[in-house]
Amino acid sequence: MARPVRRLGNLPAEPTSFVGRKRELADLRKRLATARIVTLVGPGGVGKTRLAIRAASDLARAFPAGAWLVELADVRDPGLVANTVMAALDLRDQAATDPASLLLGYLESKELLLVLDNCEHLLEAASHLVSDIARRAPGVRVVATSREPLSAPGEHILPVPPLELPPAQTAEPLDRLRQNEAIRLFVERAGAASGAFELSAANRDAVVDICRRLDGLPLAIELAAVRTRVLDVGQILDRLTDRFALLTGGGRAALPRHQTLETAIDWSHELLTEDERTLLRRLCVFTGRFTLEDVESVCGASATLDLVSSLVDKSLVVRDDVRGVACYRLHETMREYAGRKLRDAGEVDAVEQRCTDYYVTRCQRASLVARFTLPTWLAWMDLEIDNIRSVLRRCLVRSDSRSGIQLATSLSWFWITRATTEGVRWLDELLASGPGNPQTLGWSYFIRGFLAVLQGDWVAARPALEKAIVASRSAGEPIQLANSLCMASIASNMAGDRSSALRLLADADALASELDDIPTKVSVLQARSLNALFEGDFETLKVVATEGARLSREVGDLYALHMMNLNLGGAALFSGDPDESKARYSEALRIAYQIDDRIGQFYLLAALAFHATTDGRAKTAARLLGASETIRIGAGATVMPVMSPVVTQAEESAVEVLGRQKFDAEFSAGKSLSRDSAVRLALGEADDAPATATDGEEAGPLAKREVDVARLVADGLSNKQIGARLFISERTVDSHVRSILNKLGFNSRAQIAGWMASTSRR
């Protein structure tokens, strides 16, 4: 039985309204066989995007890592091109690695097809990135769409003409005429708009003339076809003819194609009500997708749902559903048109200011509860980030530092979990652009320092946190101050300045004890946990992290709960309580997956790989280590020194059981696991083949943990040495040895060694 082909990547399952293009598709496939970069070039509305997506969908199976679509139309900042490609590939800017470097490091071993859509406003940045990809990643092919070439080395240009036009003489049989690209598109869109539309002998002359009048431009044909809801095709043709006659002095001379498209849009625009026109032009202020709530707040429209629905029905606004949320966007050509209308109406400054005020206010309000509603808030941010980036850029351009700093600061949890280097960039630019709000400036520098700590950049972290402490004291903001002192203590500890770390921690502890603020108390407990970890004081670590976990759970602070469980898992591991360690790591992994914290997933999969080895599941451990490595590379992370022994021991133990060749095979299989599959495997929720003798994972009367201990006994290790190897206490090892002796009916360690030797020979 044939297996279905699995489509890898993020392409739409079925490109909409795609017709014909057989010649262009064949040409594109032929060029990609030898060319590394192919750019589809043509005017707006000609269908470049649909052609690229259709070709990528057809070719995806030829690339082991799939075909991936990167939508650049909503990106206005050239510095964010690499970030956008990373996001499309499901990589994560969550460490200190430069996004472009992270991206190139990830791609250099991949075989995939990358579609960069709408590059015309980012030509230099796109060209530079594509050139780097071609140089560093020999297995990657790039298809770009643009109104003009990228001018990248080795670029092949493929002009995209309008759709094939029907012949002017309509004597052709209807069946043949229905195969024409322009006709097919008109009929398809007219049928969708009116509920039923068929090409017939009665209407074919008008349909042919409409498609020819509109030069075969897909967007123009769609706009005309939508009118079949209220007009017949003869009426549509008459009105188009009248409009074109005005522009050509009454003759039928062809217009430039860009003018043909604008004429078609103009006609649709003039048929709108005044309220619809007003809303359409104001929608151009949204750079990315937008919701009805956004429209109501920014565009000042009443009866918003009815107006937006009407614009969708007329193909002037596109509806998208993102994770079950109804949202909308403008086609790039339509956004440009609406922008001109907004300028003509003299509304640019007023609408843009309303947009800025809306996002600053809404994000500030949301920031008060964001850490307690992270999954919901992050989903909203993923939807709105392009609009927010546009506002941040506008604040910089207009020197509105106060609004910009407030907005960037309110996005702290997005920067922490989604875009660390981007957050650093915005904060640095905005904080240097002018004064902020004195009452909240401490938080701004605190977030800058926090991001630097996450990046391991102590040089940047400590000055930022010193400024946060000064600003918080000056503003008389004790909560800001206590949190800044906590983070400064962590930064000093990481930098090796123990005396400063202890002094700052004592100051934070004293201040927090006077405050009735649970998040601040949790911050102090986290700083104390890390301090105890540096001192190797696992008992103190357990006490303070347990209290931190309790408080975090009480208020729904998932990020803090995840960190506390990570601390508790390590404390239990090094204190000889593997069951507690595994339970804590498992809960932390569930949270890290829920909030999509990639750094946390990387560490926790590695930690649970170690536990898999102690449970006798070496194959699972190898796969988890492979999955962990994939996530690490995708986040640009490095292994922290405190985790290095755990990762090393997990690999050594798995290799010892499986052998290097089989370990490498399982490790490679793990690298190909989806994050969902890897997490389920780590949590025991996925298929996990039972241990067999052929796997080197002995079954029999002993538990898996006891098999591991027995193997080390046979190697001649003492209980103390076994405990050090397995990260368990000497007393726990002694308990396992006694259990092994009882189960096997032996009296000595020598008998255990002999039994292991005979088992391995079977």
Sequential DSSP letters for 609-671 = HHHHHHTT-HHHHHHHHHHHHHHHHHHT----TTTHHHHHHHHHHHHHHH-HHHHHHHHHHHH
The answer on pLDDT for 730 being more than 50 is yes
- Domain 22-159 and domain 702-762 have a common topology: no
The least confident of 107-121, 305-319, 645-659, 694-708 is 694-708
The answer on pLDDT for 383 being more than 80 is yes
Tens-digit pLDDT profile for residues 254-301: 456 667 888 888 988 998 999 999 999 999 999 999 999 999 999 987
3-state class (DSSP) for residue 64: coil
- Mean pLDDT, rounded, for 228-235: 90
Q: Where are the domains of the chain?
A: 22-159, 174-270, 442-531, 536-595, 598-683, 702-762
- Mean pLDDT, rounded, for 88-116: 92
| CATH architecture of the domain with range 442-531 | Alpha Horseshoe (1.25)
Give pLDDT, residue 164: 86
Q: With pLDDT > 70 as the criterion, what percentage of the chain qualifies?
A: 92
Give pLDDT, residue 612: 95
- Mean pLDDT, rounded, for 531-539: 88
Most confident segment among 114-118, 302-306, 670-674, 695-699: 114-118
Instruction: Work out the pLDDT band at 477, boundaries 50, 70, 90.
Output: very high
Give pLDDT, residue 721: 81
> From CA 570, how far away is CA 646, in angstroms rounded?
10
Q: Are strands 325-329 and 318-322 parallel, antiparallel or unpaired?
A: antiparallel
| CATH architecture of the domain with range 22-159 | 3-Layer(aba) Sandwich (3.40)
SS (H, E, C) 501-521: HHHHHHHHHHHHCCCCCHHHH
The answer on pLDDT for 171 being more than 80 is no
Neighbour tally for 389: CB within 10 Å: 22
Tens-digit pLDDT profile for residues 341-365: 999 999 999 999 999 999 999 999 9
Give pLDDT, residue 369: 93
The least confident of 63-72, 197-206, 406-415, 741-750 is 741-750
Q: Identify the residue with better confidence: 215 or 142.
A: 142
The answer on pLDDT for 169 being more than 80 is no
The answer on pLDDT for 407 being more than 70 is yes
DSSP state of 419: B
Give pLDDT, residue 690: 37
3-state class (DSSP) for residue 144: strand
The least confident of 160-164, 501-505, 663-667 is 160-164
The answer on pLDDT for 135 being more than 90 is yes
The least confident of 112-121, 557-566, 580-589, 630-639 is 630-639
- Mean pLDDT, rounded, for 75-104: 92
Give pLDDT, residue 15: 46
Token representation of residue 634: 């995708």
Q: What is the mean pLDDT of the chain?
A: 88
Token representation of residue 374: 């992270």
Instruction: Work out the pLDDT band at 706, boundaries 50, 70, 90.
Output: confident
The least confident of 14-23, 303-312, 477-486, 720-729 is 14-23
End-to-end Cα separation, the chain, in angstroms: 38
Give pLDDT, residue 159: 94
Instruction: Work out the pLDDT band at 718, boundaries 50, 70, 90.
Output: confident
The angle, 0 to 180 degrees and rounded to 10, between the axes of the packed helices 233-247 and 257-270 is 120
Give pLDDT, residue 199: 92
The angle, 0 to 180 degrees and rounded to 10, between the axes of the packed helices 332-344 and 274-282 is 110
Q: Are strands 155-159 and 140-146 parallel, antiparallel or unpaired?
A: unpaired
> From CA 314, how far away is CA 227, in angstroms rounded?
8
Most confident segment among 624-633, 680-689, 733-742: 624-633
Token representation of residue 666: 């399982």
- pTM given for the model: 0.83
Tell me which CATH code domain 702-762 carries.
Answer: 1.10.10.10
Tens-digit pLDDT profile for residues 387-404: 999 999 999 999 999 999
